[in-house]
Amino acid sequence: MKRRPNLALLGPRLAALKAEWSGQRLDSDPLLFPHRYGSPEDREVVALLASALAFGRVASIKTSLERVVAALGPSPARFLEAWDGTPLPLLEGFVHRWVRQPDLEAVLSAIARVRRAHGSLREAFAKGDPGGDDFVLALDSFHALLRAEIAEPHSHGVRFLLPSPSAGTACKRAHLFLRWMVRSEDVDLGLFTGGLFTPARLLLPLDTHVHRIATYLGLTLRPTADLTASREATAWLKLISPEDPVGYDWALSRLGILALCLRGDGRRDCERCAVRTVCREAA
Ligand code: SF4
């Protein structure tokens, strides 16, 4: 029988891991991109784009995002306010895995229209938030609002950039966007605050690395990184940190992103790892 986590032991180790990575290695993450801008308007636009494109190899994510922000100029929010939707020369032939230039431009155009209608992405998100324990239905509503601005049928690229988290997949990128926007501590941006926005409603953004490490720590027993696994892991973290369960995500995700804890016989730095004493896979 598989064991559940010993929270009395796990809590201090996660706290140590979090402290170790606090504010460290922003260069290793797409969150670097919204941090380049000073205004909340630019940051929310670039954060949405950076999280939506945060799939694939880190190097290719960065290359694609450099191209996108170059096309949008020094103030992406202002650029979108004035943009008439004509194809952007700097995005000609853009491809990021299965997302192509027309997909990306359709989403840019949707962001522009939604911001015009609601004033900001924060306001648009807040209006569609029905409340509840987490933001899954609110994310559904927000992405549906953006998709409604794009002519159907929607391409695979558009549906991938604007998914419906309630369908059951982990939707790491959507929950990552919210972590960036709702948390104000450490590296996160804290732009979606007030009202129903509270870090206690965030879910752990579960990619393959974070899911794997979550299983090592007993936070989930599920073999698949899906919505149920994310809710399960978050529920355990909430018992340790009720107001900020995903505050550990930055540190946990560094282990995979920086190749400090890879799968199987891959590279692992267990000896120096802060959660070694509570990890079932520690060497
Ligand atoms: S102790 Fe080793 S296997 Fe466990 S999380 Fe740390 S690096 Fe990974």
| SS3 state at 226 | strand
Q: How far apart are CA 86 and CA 135, in angstroms?
A: 34
Q: Which atom from ligand 1 is nearest to the alpha carbon of 216?
A: 4
Are 110 and 196 found together in one domain?
Answer: yes
Please tell me whether residues 102 and 229 are part of one structural domain: no
Whether residues 179 and 257 fall in one domain: no
User: Same domain for 181 and 280?
Assistant: no
Question: Distance, CA 213 to ligand 1 centroid (Å)?
Answer: 7
- Ligand 1 pocket at CB < 6 A: 213, 216, 255, 260-261, 268-270, 273, 275-276, 279, 281-282
Q: Which residues, 6 or more positions from 268, have their beta carbon under 8 angstroms from its beta carbon?
A: 260, 261, 262, 283
Q: Are residues 151 and 78 in the same domain?
A: yes
Which of residues 147, 174, 202 is at a domain's end?
202
Cα(2) to centroid(ligand 1), Å: 18
CATH code where residue 19 lies:
1.10.1670.10
What is the residue-level pLDDT of the chain in tens, covering all 283 positions? 456 899 999 999 999 999 999 999 999 999 999 999 999 999 999 999 999 999 999 999 999 999 999 999 999 999 999 999 999 999 999 999 999 999 999 999 999 999 999 999 999 999 999 999 999 999 999 999 999 999 999 999 999 999 999 999 999 999 999 999 999 999 999 999 999 999 999 999 999 999 999 999 999 999 999 999 999 999 999 999 999 999 999 999 999 999 999 887 667 889 999 999 999 999 8
What is the model's pTM?
Answer: 0.96
Closest ligand 1 atom to 260 CA: 7
What are the φ and ψ backbone dihedral angles of 264, each rounded to 5 degrees? Answer: 55, -125
Name the residue range of residue 249's domain: 1-25+203-283
Same domain, 124 and 225: no
Q: Among 13, 257, 273, 280, which is best to mutate for testing ligand 1, by the most ligand atoms less than 8 A from CB?
A: 273
Query: What values do phi and psi take at 132, rounded to 5?
Result: 115, 180
Same domain membership, residue 265 and residue 140? no
Same domain, 84 and 193: yes
Instruction: Give yes or no: residues 156 and 190 share one domain.
Output: yes
| Per-residue burial over 59-87, b = 16 or more CB atoms within 10 Å of its CB, e = otherwise | eebbebbebbbebbeebbbebbeeeeeee
Q: How far is the CA of 252 from the centre of ligand 1 (A)?
A: 10
Indicate if 232 and 260 belong to the same structural domain. Answer: yes
Reading phi first (left if > 0) and then psi (alpha if -120 to 50, else beta), residue 169 is in beta
Domain count, the chain: 2
Pocket residue to mutate for ligand 1, from 257, 276, 278, most atoms within 8 A of Cβ: 276
- Same domain flag for 83 and 119: yes
CB count within 10 Å of CB 142 equals 25
Q: Which amino acid belongs to residue 105?
A: E
CA–CA dist 146, 144 (Å, integer)? 5
Protein residue with its CA nearest to atom 8 in ligand 1:
261
Atom of ligand 1 nearest to the CA of 279: 4
- Measured at the alpha carbon of residue 158, what is the angle toward residues 108 and 113, in degrees to the nearest 5? 30
Give the amino acid at 106: A
Per-residue HEC secondary structure of 42-57 comes to: HHHHHHHHHHHCCCCC
Is there a contact between 11 and 239 (Cβ–Cβ < 8 Å)? no
Are 222 and 194 in a shared domain? no
